[in-house]
Homo-oligomer: A and B are copies of this chain.
Amino acid sequence: MQIFTFVLMSVLVFFAGNPARTIAADAPVHGTFALFEVEPTWTTLSSDEKTKGVQEATALVESFKDRVTFDSYWTYGLTTDSHFLIRLQSSEAKINQELLTQLAGTGLGRHLDLEFTISGITKGLNYAPDFPDLLAQLKAAKYEGDPSTYVIMIPTRKSAEWWNLSKEERVALIREHTVPTIAYLKTVKRKLFHATGLADADFITIFETNNLEDFNNLVLALRMVKEDKYNIRLGSPTVLGTLKSWNEVGALLAK
C-alpha cells in the first residue's frame, strides 16, 4: 500500500485543503494525528468563554503556520469517543508536540481530552523502482472527483512473517496489491506515514474522498490480495470523519 500512495502524494500536490503546500519527495515529513474529545465541562461555559477559547486556539494554530501544516476533520457521530481529528505535518515530531502542548493551555484546550495520538514519517519509495510499468500509471493517474468531504485514517501493523519475507517477495506482493487499486486514484486520495517503532503500528494511511462507496470498494480490493494476510492490525481505531477547516471546527465547538 505504501508505495503508490507515496508516489501519488509526491506527484499530486493537491491534498487535504492545503493545495499550496508541496511536500518534496525526499524530505521526511513528521505527521502526528491527534483525536480529541471535548469534555462535558466545555458545555457549561458561556458563549463568550467558548468563543474566546476557540480564538486562542486559532491564533495558536496561525502562529505555527510556517512550521506546521495543519488539517482538521470533524469526527463526532462517526468515530467513537471523539469530536475532531487534527493532522500536524512538520519537519520534526517535536514541533507537532510543541503545538499540541501549547494548544492544551488555551481556553479551548483546557477542555479537550486527547483520546488517541499516533505519529509517523513519510519516506522515499521502497518497492516502486522494481515495477516501473505500474509506477508510470501511478504517476499518470489524477484525482478527478469533486472536492473531498470524507476522511478515513487507518493504522496498520504487519506480522513478523511479512518483515521476514525477502525484498523480492514483498515487491511481488506489493505489485499485486497495487494493480487493482490504480482505478481508484481518480476518486480516492491517500497518503502514507511510516510508524514502525514510533507506535504500535507499522503504517498510518489517511484517505480523503467524496465517495464512500468507491472507498469501500478500494479497501475491499486491498483485502482481496495476499498482502492482506500479513496485516495483524487494520484499524483499531478506524477514524471516520468529514473535512472541515479549523474555522469550521471552531464554529461547531463555539455553538
Residue numbers of A with Cβ under 8 A of B are: 28, 30, 32, 34, 39-41, 43, 74, 76-81, 92-94, 96-97, 99-101, 104-105, 110, 114-117, 119, 121, 123, 149-150, 152, 154, 158, 160-161, 163-164, 194-200, 207, 212-213, 215-216, 218-220, 223-226, 228-229, 231, 234-238, 240-242, 252, 255
Contacts and interface: CB of A to CB of B under 8 A. Distances in A.
Given A93-B150, A150-B93, A199-B240, A160 B255 contact: no
A80 B219 contact: no
A139 B237 CA distance: 38
B39 A39 contact: no
Copies of this chain assembled into the complex:
5
Contacts of A121: 212-213, 216
A166 to B, nearest CB: 10
Contact of A28 (B41, B78, B117, B213): B213
Interface of A is mostly: mixed
28 contacts: A28-B212, A32-B78, A34-B77, A39-B40, A76-B100, A77-B96, A77-B97, A77-B99, A77-B114, A77-B117, A79-B117, A80-B117, A94-B149, A94-B242, A101-B252, A105-B255, A154-B197, A160-B228, A160-B229, A160-B231, A163-B220, A163-B228, A164-B224, A164-B225, A196-B220, A197-B220, A198-B216, A199-B240
A104 B234 CA distance: 30
Contacts of A199: 235, 238, 240
A18 to B, nearest CB: 20
A34 B231 CA distance: 28
Given A30-B212, A213-B28, A219 B197 contact: yes
Given A196-B219, A219-B197, A119 B152 contact: no
Contacts of A207: 197
Contacts of A100: 76-78
A140 B121 CA distance: 30
A93 B200 contact: no
Nearest to A78: B97
B117 A78 contact: yes
A12 to B, nearest CB: 21
Given A34-B77, A105-B255, 11 more contacts: A30-B212, A32-B77, A40-B110, A77-B99, A77-B114, A77-B117, A93-B150, A160-B231, A164-B223, A200-B234, A200-B236
